[in-house]
Amino acid sequence: MQEKIICFLIDDDHDDQEIFSLALNAIDEEIDCITANDGVDAINRLRRDRGFTPDFIFLDLNMLRMSGRECLKEIKKIPHLNDIPVIIYSTSSEQKDITETMLLGASDYIVKPPSISILTKRLEQVLRKE
């Protein structure tokens, strides 16, 4: 990969954050993985820090303070993020969730896989689309 990629993961599960970071690191050690522990913190940072424009936003659906759907709606209201792909990263494989989030503006949907190697391959597909 040519330039440094910044991925912003919004997920309230610290184990999932760690696994996600390890998978990105396996793709390229130069990829920055910045995390937010919930949608409220993520939205506050994205609104407050206009200099923070990640290349990709990965968003868990099932979070306590603000659901992934609510967070996605709020991200889509922030003008400087209009061109940033938001990828849902969830344990849910329900077609209803996939369809609904795509209609809300998600650009892709990843079901949390059972292994880091599968996640690594899937993330590589997403990152190489650019």
> Considering its fold, how many domains does the chain have in total?
1
> Looking at the domain assignment, is residue 66 inside a domain?
yes
**Which residue range(s) make up the domain with 111?**
6-124
> Looking at the domain assignment, is residue 1 inside a domain?
no
Instruction: Find the Cα–Cα–Cα–Cα dihedral 117, 121, 126, 128, rounded to 10°.
Output: 130
* Segment 39-73, tens digit of pLDDT: 999 999 999 988 889 999 999 999 999 999 999 99
4 — pLDDT class (breaks 50, 70, 90):
confident
* Segment 64-120, tens digit of pLDDT: 999 999 999 999 999 989 899 999 999 999 999 999 999 999 999 999 999 999 999
> Looking at the domain assignment, is residue 130 inside a domain?
no
Rounded-to-integer distance, Cα 95 and Cα 2, Å: 35
Nearest alpha-carbon partner for 90 in 64, 110, 67: 110
Structure tokens belonging to residue 98: 């996939």
130 — pLDDT class (breaks 50, 70, 90):
low
* Predicted model pTM: 0.94
